């Protein structure tokens, strides 16, 4: 990507949208773009944090592994997402693995360069705090789901969240999930078992609340799922 393209792309993000071209110029100068093939590891859990990434194209899986090697998916990110969200303000190591799910084009910003930039532009820090605040609210909502809902309802809430974030509306209130996730990966996202996830999906399909298209994408009836949780 050329500097002009990087400028236009980064300007879409909340932390940069209020900056003029002059203020963005040093950021664009030290930003870099790179293509990644599916299956590539961008960084690994516990590696030193060096860069923050912005997704221009493709999808990225963020996940953790425990001592037994079990995978816990934290999030699936796509175009116009940034990660790790706390990277600009955290010292230490990456809190999770990042793996390319679909061929991607990422723009990365070295943290040390950005920190030097903030020394002369402290107003950017305020915008970053707002972004982090939104992430904290999302994490709080997920924690509440774990505490307040049983596994069946957690699976429904997961499908609703994926529909909002990784879905495309194909007809009124029905969404196709645009990212391919196995039953095990879906189960790992809420700390459940693959068997429980499979049984729940089978039941929801019998009730015509969830369907699978010819390409293997899940199609969810959002209002019907919402009604199940509310009831």
Q: What is the pLDDT of residue 131?
A: 67
Residue 128: pLDDT over 70: no
Domain chopping of the chain, boundaries:
3-128, 146-230
Select from 59, 58, 54 the least CA-distant residue to 85: 54
| Domain 146-230 indexed as CATH 1.10.10.10 | yes
Residue 167 gets which letter from DSSP?
Answer: E
User: Per residue in 79-123, pLDDT tens?
Assistant: 888 898 766 666 788 989 999 999 999 999 998 998 888 887 777
> Higher pLDDT residue, 20 or 49?
49
Which two three-digit tokens encode residue 201?
């999906």
Q: Cβ atoms within 10 A of the Cβ of 161, count?
A: 18
Contact 132, 90 (CB under 8 A): no
What's the maximum distance between 2 C-alpha atoms anywhere in the chain?
59
The strands making up 174-177's β-sheet, listed across from edge to edge, are 167-171, 174-177, 218-221, 210-212
Contact 67, 9 (CB under 8 A): no
| Domain 3-128 indexed as CATH 2.60.120.10 | yes
Question: What is the Cβ-side half-sphere exposure of residue 73, based on CA atoms within 13 angstroms?
Answer: 21
Do the first three CATH levels of 3-128 and 146-230 match, i.e. the same topology? no
Question: Once rounded to an integer, what is the mean pLDDT over residues 159-185?
Answer: 85
């Amino acid at each position: 990507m050329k500097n002009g393209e990087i400028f236009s792309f980064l300007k879409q993000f909340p932390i940069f949208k209020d900056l003029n071209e002059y203020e963005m110029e040093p950021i664009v100068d030290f930003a870099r773009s790179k293509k990644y093939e599916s299956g590539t590891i961008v960084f690994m859990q516990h590696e030193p944090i060096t860069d923050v990434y912005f997704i221009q194209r493709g999808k990225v899986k963020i996940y953790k592994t425990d001592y037994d090697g079990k995978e816990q998916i934290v999030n699936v990110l796509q175009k116009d997402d940034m990660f790790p969200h706390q990277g600009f303000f955290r010292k230490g190591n990456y809190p999770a693995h990042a793996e390319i799910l679909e061929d991607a084009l990422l723009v990365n910003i070295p943290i040390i360069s950005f920190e030097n930039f903030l020394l002369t532009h402290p107003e950017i820090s305020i915008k970053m705090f707002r972004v982090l605040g939104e992430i904290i609210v999302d994490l709080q909502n997920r924690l509440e789901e774990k505490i307040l809902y049983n596994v069946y309802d957690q699976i429904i809430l997961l499908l609703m969240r994926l529909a909002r974030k990784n879905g495309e509306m194909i007809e009124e209130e029905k969404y196709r999930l645009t990212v391919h996730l196995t039953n095990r990966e879906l189960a790992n996202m809420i700390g459940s078992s693959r068997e429980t996830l499979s049984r729940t999906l089978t039941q929801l399909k019998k009730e015509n609340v969830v369907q699978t298209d010819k390409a293997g994408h899940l199609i969810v009836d959002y209002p019907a799922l919402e009604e199940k949780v509310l009831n």
